[in-house]
Amino acid sequence: MTWYKTLRFKCQKNCSDCCKGFEGYVWLDKKNIEEIANFLKITTKEFLKKYTRSVFGRISLIEIKNNFECIFLKDSKCSIYSVRPKQCSTYPFWKQNISSKKAWEDVKNDCPGIDSEDAKEFTKEEIEDILNS
């Protein structure tokens, strides 16, 4: 039983708050790696060497050391937007973020897209689809 019927969100694209400011991991699966390497017109081997690190046996994008910005954030915009990792395209609808009203309210403090004036209303089914994508 979920605590919500719908949730409202629209990414405020010039914001990029979720792409910087705190240390973290952006996990990549095989599909993400291939898509981004293709997009950059380099081999997956080159991509892995230049833009990723191995953490706990998984692959994550690297970030800028002094401010934790995502390596692909350029002028406050995602430079690989059309092939951005699933972790990014599904934010803020992550399991832990929608697990309770409190968790969602906490994320809202960091993401101005939640309940923004132009937000789209997502039904439970739509959110399930995003979670299972």
Residues that bind ligand SF4 (CB under 6 A): 11-12, 15-18, 91, 111-113
Q: Which is nearer to ligand SF4, 85 or 113 (CB)?
A: 113
CB of 11 to ligand SF4, least distance (A): 3
CA distances for 106 relative to 17, 112, 114, angstroms? 14, 11, 11
**Cis bond leading into 92, ω under 30°?**
yes
Q: Which is nearer to ligand SF4, 11 or 127 (CB)?
A: 11
Q: Which stretches of the chain are assigned E, i.e. beta strand?
A: 6-9, 52-55, 58-61, 73-74, 77-78, 120-123
Q: Which is nearer to ligand SF4, 15 or 64 (CB)?
A: 15
Q: Which is nearer to ligand SF4, 16 or 87 (CB)?
A: 16
CB of 15 to ligand SF4, least distance (A): 3
Assess contact for 57 and 63: CB atoms under 8 A: no
CB of 46 to ligand SF4, least distance (A): 28
Assess contact for 21 and 110: CB atoms under 8 A: no
